[in-house]
A = this chain, B = another copy of it.
Amino acid sequence: MADSPVPFAASSSRPPLMPLDEAIAVLLAKAQPVLPTESVGTFDADGRVLAQDLVSGLTVPPRDNSAMDGYAVRVADCAAPGAELKVAQRIPAGTVGTLLAPGTAARIFTGAQIPEGADAVVMQEDTAAVPQEGSLGSVRIAIVPAAGQWIRRAGEDVAAGDVVLRKGERLTPAALGLAASVGFDRLQVARKPRVAMLSTGDELVMPGEVAPDAMKPGAIYNSNRFFMRALLYRLGCEVNDLGIVPDNREATVVALRDAAEASDLIITTGGVSVGEEDHIRAALQALGELQLWSLSMKPGKPFAYGSIARSSGQGACHVTGLPGNPVSSFLTFLMLVRPFLLTLQGAARVAPEAVKMRADFDWPRADKRREFLRVRRNAAGGLDLFANQSSGVLTSMVWGDGVVDNPAGRTIKSGELVEFIPFASLLG
């Protein structure tokens, strides 16, 4: 690893490539201690990481109940189609009926408790009401019901004492619903990560500050700041956007030192490759720990992990240094920083999950690095490749709906199965 400043490379040897899985393992081991926890309302817990096992005090549904609007009956009374039964009671949801006498039916509604004695529900559409002045009348049952039909059994969803959600689960809308369904109006979750982000590079200009036709030669708009901020918000982080830091060592040191005080993580983009114009590296070496990795990852080779001790004495702030090229920056965020932020919150499952899909393209040139090829699912159920796989080409991340995770040294022939990671699985 090139971890000391070398004004001009002294030898032609390249730094050895670090396997991506090894880098991720080293990085995730740094996410200790995990963030403190806090209690939040269940309404506000979407996307947060649960810090407790949720044990149900409830059986759901609490008792056998009707899955349909219709009539609760005794199957024995309906041996042939057309049985006519006296409607002896009426059980809306939220009320409790009485013992169903033989030869009678109970008018019942979805969610209402099945009365004792009944062993099936006949849905309304399979019946014909026979009105009768001054009573609930009778009902003709057009079918022969099966025992248990349209009855939702007590405990079918959850039994009392069940762990319905485990510590480390990242909460989704469905999980919030499940927590609520057993009575939890508050949940213990990890505190939101506080993330500071900064970009480096004198060539960077903010959109809106200079019009396209007035851009100086060499100047480029800062795009990393936009997707990075959005990615962090989607991950539920509190974001402190420090903007573009001038390409000099003093400014970089000051920005990093200040940000470390109130952040759990500082994300930098640019300034981590071996060129001497990169001040992030020197600033981090001056302020704390620094590891520089040449990842076996394409796009996305240079990556830095560092930490800065807080002057308050309250632990250290993590730093991840991402490459400046937009696609490299985006993908190293998804593959390394996202799992890191989830681990920091105690999440149990943090790795991107791939599915096998058919490549409808050839990739004839193997690379010594593990590649993340931008692809899009096509109507034929396969994957199409974006023509330009350069790391500067952000259009590939918009055109594509995911990446093929292609091992180092591997070529792809059209028709082969490859590992596809959909962006959708990484954006929430």
Q: How far is the CA of A184 from the CA of B212 in the complex (A)?
A: 9
Decide yes or no whether A207 CB sits under 8 A from chain B: yes
Other contacts beyond A9-B127, A111-B201, A183-B208: 15, CB < 8 A: A7-B129, A15-B125, A43-B230, A46-B230, A93-B203, A93-B277, A157-B395, A176-B227, A177-B326, A178-B394, A179-B226, A181-B221, A181-B223, A185-B209, A427-B428
Decide yes or no whether A348 CB sits under 8 A from chain B: no
Decide yes or no whether A60 CB sits under 8 A from chain B: yes
Residue of B nearest to A329 (CB): B177
Residue of B nearest to A426 (CB): B424
Contact A207 B223 (CB under 8 A): no
Contact B393 A157 (CB under 8 A): yes
Separation in Å of the A321 CB from the closest CB of chain B?
14
Residue of B nearest to A157 (CB): B393
> Which A residues contact B (CB, under 8 angstroms)?
7-15, 42-43, 46, 56-58, 60-63, 67-69, 92-96, 109-113, 124-129, 131, 137, 139-140, 142, 152, 156-158, 164-165, 172-186, 201-203, 206-213, 215, 217-231, 233-234, 247, 273-275, 277, 324-326, 330, 353, 355-357, 377, 381, 388, 390-395, 397-398, 422-425, 427-428
Q: How far is the CA of A202 from the CA of B91 in the complex (A)?
A: 12
Contact B142 A12 (CB under 8 A): yes
Main secondary structure of the interface of A (DSSP, over half): loop
Q: How far is the CA of A152 from the CA of B324 in the complex (A)?
A: 14
Contact B394 A69 (CB under 8 A): no
Q: How far is the CA of A217 from the CA of B428 in the complex (A)?
A: 38
How many copies make up the complex?
2
Q: How far is the CA of A182 from the CA of B377 in the complex (A)?
A: 26
Separation in Å of the A295 CB from the closest CB of chain B?
14
- What chain B residues lie within 8 Å of A273 (beta carbons)? 68-69, 110
- What chain B residues lie within 8 Å of A219 (beta carbons)? 62, 94
Q: How far is the CA of A240 from the CA of B364 in the complex (A)?
A: 54
Contact B58 A212 (CB under 8 A): yes
